[in-house]
Amino acid sequence: MIKTFVFRRGADILVALDAVSGDLTSVTSLSARMRRLPPGRRTVDANAPVAATLSAHARDADGEIPAGWTFSLSAEESEALASGSYLLDAKLVMGSSSITTDPVIINIVEPATL
């Protein structure tokens, strides 16, 4: 089951990626992108345009919260997105190998209060 997050259009978007094993410093490159999902679909076509590229910020462990990264899209950037569903995943590169995370769905809804 793909996890779904709901955000208001024009609000900051923050999504956490926990490092469940390994050393964060072994990651040499990190990127996260969203693509618009066609209605009724849970996958995107390979040629679907990128709707947004999220910034990645490393974070230290804090109590029960493990170390990892927080991916973010500013309020101004989310304001430019159309309401609807997007698929988000991240690619982590460690030397000559890479991992693509499981996807999540980001639902952008129109706020009632502007």
Return the pLDDT at 96: 87
In a domain, 114, yes or no: no
The tally of domains found in the chain comes to 1
* pLDDT, tens only, 64-106: 888 899 999 999 999 999 999 999 999 999 888 898 989 999 9
| Cα angle 6-51-36, degrees, rounded to a multiple of 5 | 60
Number of separate helices (H) and strands (E) present in the chain: 1, 8
**Structural domain boundaries, residue 26:** 4-109
Q: Is the dihedral of CA 96, 102, 6, 42 positive or negative?
A: positive
CATH number at residue 15: 2.60.40.10
* pLDDT, tens only, 10-41: 999 999 998 876 677 778 889 999 999 998 88
In a domain, 95, yes or no: yes
Return the pLDDT at 95: 85
In a domain, 82, yes or no: yes
Q: pLDDT at residue 114 above 80?
A: no
Q: Minimal CA–CA distance to 78: which of 32, 10, 14?
A: 10
d(CA 33, CA 65): 24
Q: What is the pTM of this model?
A: 0.89
Strand partners, 111: none
Please provide the average confidence, as pLDDT, over all residues in the chain: 91
In a domain, 101, yes or no: yes
